[in-house]
Amino acid sequence: SRDDTVWESLALSNTMVGLATTRRYAYHALGALGAIELTAPSRVKKVSAAMKRVGMSAGTRGYFDLHAALDISHGRAWISEVIGTLAADDPSSQPFLAEGALMRLTCGKRCFDRYATAFRLGCAEQQNRFDVANDAYRVHSAC
């Protein structure tokens, strides 16, 4: 539920919405989007690997597998065609582009660190709970 949403996730979302809805932060928003484009391939690759680990079919994982490859060239194009062009045409935009990217990366790291901690703890608790009672379950829920 919304009440269970961790603050790190809200901070990430609110940062992106805040940058995107105010013209004053246009360069920040573009820098943040650049960070998303550059980091997307590794994220979708990890999602696909997790889906495979839990037994989902190649067809189900197809979108993520495709984007793990496509987003590499998309991210490079975004940086060279959008960020690079803006930075060259208006050097005063460079600190704002960089600050937006840093804001997105910082919020993202905090959010994903929180998820990693929560999921590892939950997995360890499951393993301990089912170690004796059901070895097969323990194998399937291993972190």
Q: Where are the domains of the chain?
A: 2-115
Q: How far apart are CA 73 and CA 55, in angstroms?
A: 29
Q: Which residue has the tokens 């829920």?
A: 141
- Does position 91 have pLDDT exceeding 90, yes or no? yes
List of residues 6+ apart from 141 with CB closer than 8 A: 123, 126, 127, 130
Task: Note the pLDDT of residue 97.
Answer: 98
Task: Note the pLDDT of residue 121.
Answer: 53
Q: Which residue has the higher pLDDT, 126 or 63?
A: 63
Task: Note the pLDDT of residue 142.
Answer: 42
Q: How far apart are CA 121 and CA 41, in angstroms?
A: 26
Q: Which residue has the tokens 């996730």?
A: 9
pLDDT tens-digit series, residues 11-62? 999 999 999 999 999 999 999 999 999 998 988 998 899 899 999 999 999 9
List of residues 6+ apart from 7 with CB closer than 8 A: none
Exposure string over 45-66, b if 16+ CB within 10 A, otherwise e = bebbeebeeeeeeeeebeebbe
In this prediction, residues 117-124 reach a mean pLDDT of 66
Question: Cβ of 102: how many Cβ atoms within 10 Å?
Answer: 14
